[in-house]
Structure 1
Amino acid sequence: MLRTSFSWLLLPLLAFVVAACCGSVACDDRERNADTLFFKFAPSVTPQEISTVYIVRTFTPNPNTVPAPTSLTPVRDTARLISNPISPSTNDTLSIGNNTPFVATANRKLNAYTYEIYTLNPADTTGKTKALSFTVDNILLEGGFNDEDGCCTYYKNTKKIIDLDNGDVPIVGLNLTSKGTERRYATLQP
């Protein structure tokens, strides 16, 4: 009887010790950019060409989903990114994540959309208003949860593949899967 009572008292004490250990560990936000797609403009692109960049995301409902969507009209959102004149060295990169530059909608991840990245050319008199234009589609994301330190569980991306089309030479199956904290960039080459 004494052994049973002792076991019941030891169990909550053990749980408290383990909780105190995990409670003292700060969980950082490693998963915040796990699925994020990173892009870098080619060195041949001038800062003037990318002073304002537009990103359009398009969601096209699948008619075969259950329940069927009320509308099959594609839904488009546009984000306008303006360069920072104080720090021009950081203006040649951009990222598309689950929550940036667009707000997450209906629990969809970024792979539910296609994206168009473009800049305007207002000085062109030939009627071509887009100076640079890129399409990102067929985004394949895979990942899972990883318990790295025993107390915090993190989402870890294990596959990040896209198709990138600049109109001239489309790149199919571009692998942007990162290892550790590195970032792999897709080059936006005009």
Structure 2
Amino acid sequence: MMRKLSAWLLGLLVATAVSACCGSVSCECDDTLEDAIYFQFNLADSLGATGFRSADVDTVVVVRYPYVDPLVQLPPNAPVVPNDTTRIIRSRALTAKPIVLNTTAPFTAGGGRKLDAYKYQLYVVRHFPGTATPPETIFYSLDSITLAGRFLGDGCCTCYQNEGKKLRVTRAEKPSTTGTIVDVTTAQNEEPKPVVLSR
């Protein structure tokens, strides 16, 4: 009986010590953007062959398509997940800022599906002021998104940390295997590496 009481008191003492430690520490993970991918348009060469003017990228249309693995045979009655479209309108002063693509931005989370459960298309319209040339719509396909990460804990807090972010970027209307695989993985506490889109 004394043995059980001693074990119970020891367990209570340990639990109290741990809760006192964790109770005095605020748990702020700030991990909501760990898997986010950032895009910027090449404004540095706005007058050259590969850049954009601010007016070309002040409105960006983003379309999200559910990714379906071509090797997986879906049942005939599988529910169809719809495409989502959003238009991002920015002031000229903000066109140099990155556009954030995340599980919850610019779209809402879709039934627990993460960023890598979709493929995306970005549309911008390039203008030719002072000429008779009609505007040109430029497409970027963003697919084959792969994310790697893990949860790290210190006994009181458990936070998510991304350890790998890659995607394929194709300057084309439809996804293609000829696109460029871009690795935007960053080390902990590093600034995000944006994907720079040129025309």
What is the root-mean-square deviation of aligned Cα atoms in Å?
Answer: 3.0
Contact 1:178 1:184 in 2 (8 A): yes
Contact 2:103 2:115 in 1 (8 A): yes
Q: Which residue is equivalent to 1:154?
A: 159
Secondary structure, counterpart of 1:34 in structure 2? coil
Alignment gaps of 5+ in structure 2: 46-51, 173-177
Q: Which residue is equivalent to 1:81?
A: 88
Higher mean C-alpha deviation, range 55-64 or range 158-167: 55-64
Contact 1:33 1:97 in 2 (8 A): yes
Alignment gaps of 5+ in structure 1: none
Q: For residue 66 of structure 1, report the CA deviation from its aligned partner.
A: 7.9
Q: Which residue is equivalent to 1:46?
A: 53
Residues 101/89 of structure 1: CA separation in 2 closer, same or farther (3 Å cut)? closer
| TM-score w.r.t. length of structure 1 | 0.82
Q: Which residue is equivalent to 2:49?
A: none
Contact 2:54 2:95 in 1 (8 A): no
TM alignment of 1:16-165, pairs within 5 A:
16-42=16-42, 43-44=44-45, 45-62=52-69, 68=75, 70=77, 75-84=82-91, 88-89=93-94, 91-121=96-126, 130=137, 132-147=138-153, 149-165=154-170
Contact 1:61 1:73 in 2 (8 A): no
Q: For residue 29 of structure 1, report the CA deviation from its aligned partner.
A: 3.4
Secondary structure, counterpart of 1:75 in structure 2? coil
- Take 1:71 and 1:4, find their aligned partners in 2: how far apart are those partners? 55
Aligned AA (2:54): P
Q: Which residue is equivalent to 2:48?
A: none
**Residue by residue, what CA displacement relative to the aligned partner does 1:2-59 show, whole Å, maximum 9, x if unpaired?**
4542332231122022012112222223320111111111123222111111111111
Q: Which residue is equivalent to 1:188?
A: 197
Number of matched residues? 186
Aligned AA (2:189): T
- Take 1:6 and 1:128, find their aligned partners in 2: how far apart are those partners? 81
| TM-score w.r.t. length of structure 2 | 0.78
Are positions 1:178 and 2:186 aligned together?
yes
Contact 2:57 2:95 in 1 (8 A): no
Contact 2:56 2:127 in 1 (8 A): no
Contact 1:47 1:92 in 2 (8 A): no
Higher mean C-alpha deviation, range 108-117 or range 66-75: 66-75
**Residue by residue, what CA displacement relative to the aligned partner does 1:133-161 show, whole Å, maximum 9, x if unpaired?**
211011111112112x3311112211111
Q: Which residue is equivalent to 2:5?
A: 5
